Amino acid sequence: MNDLIHKGAWELSQLMTGGQVSSQEVTTACLERIAQVEPAVAAFLHVDAERALELARRVDQRRADGQELGPLAGVPVALKDAFAYAGAPTTCGSLILRDWIPPYNATVTQRLLDAGLVILGKTNLDEFAMGSSTENSAFGPTHNPWDLERVPGGSGGGSAASLVAFETPLAIGSDTGGSIRQPASVTGTVGVKPTYGGSSRYGLVAMASSLDQPGPCARSVLDAALLHQVIAGWDPKDSTSIDAPVPDVVAAAQRFDLAGLKVGVVEELGGEGYAAGVEQRFAEAVALLEAGGAEVRQVSCPHFPLALGAYYLIMPSEVSSNLARFDAVRYGWRVDDDGDHSVEQVMRRSRGAGFGAEAKRRIILGTYALSSGYYDAYYGSAQKTRTLIIEDFAAAFEQVDVLVSPATPTTAFKLGERVDDPLAMYKADLCTIPSNLAGNAAASFPIGLSPQDGLPVGLQVMAPPLADDRLYRVGAALERALEEQWSGPLWAELARREERP
**Residues 368, 311: Cα–Cα separation, whole Å:** 15
Please confirm, yes or no, whether 179 is among the known catalytic residues. Answer: yes
CB 329 within 8 A of CB 343: yes
79: helix, coil or strand? strand
277: helix, coil or strand? helix
Please confirm, yes or no, whether 94 is among the known catalytic residues. Answer: no
Please confirm, yes or no, whether 342 is among the known catalytic residues. Answer: no
CB 207 within 8 A of CB 251: no
CB 316 within 8 A of CB 363: yes
**Amino acid symbol at 402:** V
CB 133 within 8 A of CB 34: no
Q: Are strands 402-406 and 295-299 parallel, antiparallel or unpaired?
A: unpaired
Cis peptide before 317 (omega within 30 of 0): no
Give the residue from 212, 206, 210 showing the smallest Cα distance to 179: 212
Residues 6+ apart with CB under 8 A from 236: none
CB 286 within 8 A of CB 404: yes
Residues 6+ apart with CB under 8 A from 106: 83, 84, 85, 200, 202, 203, 204
Q: Of 94, 133, 179, 405, which one is the catalytic site residue?
A: 179
Q: Are strands 170-174 and 76-80 parallel, antiparallel or unpaired?
A: parallel
Q: Of 7, 80, 122, 193, which one is the catalytic site residue?
A: 80
**Residues 33, 149: Cα–Cα separation, whole Å:** 20
Q: Of 155, 159, 174, 320, which one is the catalytic site residue?
A: 155
Active site residues: 80, 155, 179
